[in-house]
Amino acid sequence: MLAQGASFEKYELPYLGGNPLKIQGSFTYENGQDGPLFVFHEGRTHGLSLYIKNGLLYCGFRTWTEDHIENITTTNLDKNNNFELNLGQDGRVSISLNGKIVKCFQSPWPMPVQAGNSHYLTGTWHIGTAGLEWFTPIGNYGQDEVYPGNIFPVKVKINK
């Protein structure tokens, strides 16, 4: 469970590379509340983000410094939102909002795995912030942006 404003560094979380993920959480939204809900960075070359811009939800992936951005919603968000992001081993993504699947797509993942290094792709997770100041945002939000709404604990489940 990751709380709003928290950051988790390498070695604090289990190995990620090539494994299916399920990320669940909830957040409140008011007009004009833009920013990252969660961000995962593996250095400058790989990552994942879920963020709000102009009332719409987006999902961003970075592979080898190239960004892939998916628009998830086409209408403004509700005041209270539950989300679930499932990322399969083959890179297929499904995103649910308030119990309803709103988007399925093929991501550029699974990210590559470096043999022999159990901490490769452990990365850092940031909840409600863009991450460390030297990270480049994965999507359309500022490097020092903080989500102004409430984000309730985010659960990351890594299936092995």
Q: Domains plus CATH for the chain? A: 7-158 (2.60.120.200)
Q: Which amino acid, one-letter code, is at 142?
A: G
Distance CA 49, CA 131 (A): 10
Stated pTM of the model: 0.87
What are the 10-residue block averages of pLDDT along the chain, 160 residues in total?
A: 73 65 93 92 84 94 88 91 92 94 88 49 82 84 92 85
pLDDT for 114 equals 47
> In whole angstroms, what is the distance from residue 31 CA to residue 84 CA?
22
- Give the whole-angstrom CA distance, residue 22 versus residue 74: 23
